[in-house]
Amino acid sequence: MDQQRDPLSPGLYIVATPIGNLGDITMRAVSVLNACDAVACEDTRVTGKLMHHLGIRKRLIRHDDHAGDNARDGLLALAETGPVALVSDAGTPLISDPGYRLVVEARERGIAVVTVPGPSAVIAGLSISGLPTDRFLFAGFLPPKDKARRDVLTELAGVPSSLVFYETAPRLGPSLVAIGELLPGRTIAVGRELTKLHEECRSGTAEELIAHYEAHPPRGEIVLMIGPPVATAAEDLDIDALLVEALKADKPSQAAAKLAKAHGLDRKMLYARAMELK
């Protein structure tokens, strides 16, 4: 509590805020928000509600990834002479949220950049998913278009770790379909409305989750998690089925290369078979 009475040094303070439950705000975050000269935020209305809940009145400055050079210069000028907090609408700033350019330029100018850690949907989802957490890759949002989504999943299929994505409720179904086809046999977990009243973390195969969410259309914000690759013998794979599916979107050479990388198979063999099927 003594921190609340101590003045903050000039700099840019990266402050994590709750992803749902307002009780998750840290004492240090409250202290920094109380002591800063201004708060840079994605949406002044969203941050205004949090500040009102905390009983804090501060100058709120809208800042997102569309902010121009002049806007960044203005914030950095403030941070050179006093403490400025950067928050996102929810969670830890810069984690699929605005702030990257601001932090880079602050560091280039020699302005102190200070972390005030706290809630993050990535970590919250993984912690209750039941998937391996000793090694994971966070890859942001999956692309909205099917071809691009499949390209990303194919690119990451061979990564020996759990995969974590953010996803929207309307796109969850198509993403689960693509995962089931391109990353067969993986355990998937869907974290939804984390820390909120209707928090849910459901795991299963792609087919099981597709069936569930077709019967119970999802709502809210989603963390989509995929378990690491399962060692699969080549003879257990339906190579023709995989190739036929891949050839719907790619040329034989591309399909062979992607499947070779995803399943550890011989690319030349896959290419020859793809040409036969084509």
Looking at the structure, tell me whether residues 107 and 192 fall in a common domain: no
- Give per-residue pLDDT as tens, 226-272: 999 875 545 557 888 888 988 888 899 998 888 887 776 778 888 88
Q: Which pLDDT value is given to residue 201?
A: 97
Cα 173 to chain centroid distance, Å, stands at: 18
Q: What separation in angstroms does the CA of 266 have from each of 155, 243, 262, 263, 270?
A: 17, 13, 11, 9, 6
Looking at the structure, tell me whether residues 218 and 180 fall in a common domain: yes
| Structural domains of the chain, count | 3
Parent domain of 259:
234-277
Looking at the structure, tell me whether residues 91 and 21 fall in a common domain: yes
Percent of the chain exceeding pLDDT 90 equals 76
Looking at the structure, tell me whether residues 86 and 186 fall in a common domain: no
Looking at the structure, tell me whether residues 202 and 256 fall in a common domain: no
- Give per-residue pLDDT as tens, 135-190: 999 999 999 999 999 999 999 998 999 999 999 999 999 999 999 999 988 999 99
Please identify, among 119, 150, 170, the residue that sits at the C-terminal boundary of a domain: 119
Please identify, among 102, 119, 136, the residue that sits at the C-terminal boundary of a domain: 119
Looking at the structure, tell me whether residues 113 and 7 fall in a common domain: yes
The HSE-up count of residue 98 (CA atoms within 13 Å, CB side) is 17
Looking at the structure, tell me whether residues 239 and 207 fall in a common domain: no
Looking at the structure, tell me whether residues 131 and 105 fall in a common domain: no
Looking at the structure, tell me whether residues 183 and 245 fall in a common domain: no
Distance (Å, whole) CA 38 – CA 72: 14
Looking at the structure, tell me whether residues 262 and 222 fall in a common domain: no
Looking at the structure, tell me whether residues 218 and 273 fall in a common domain: no
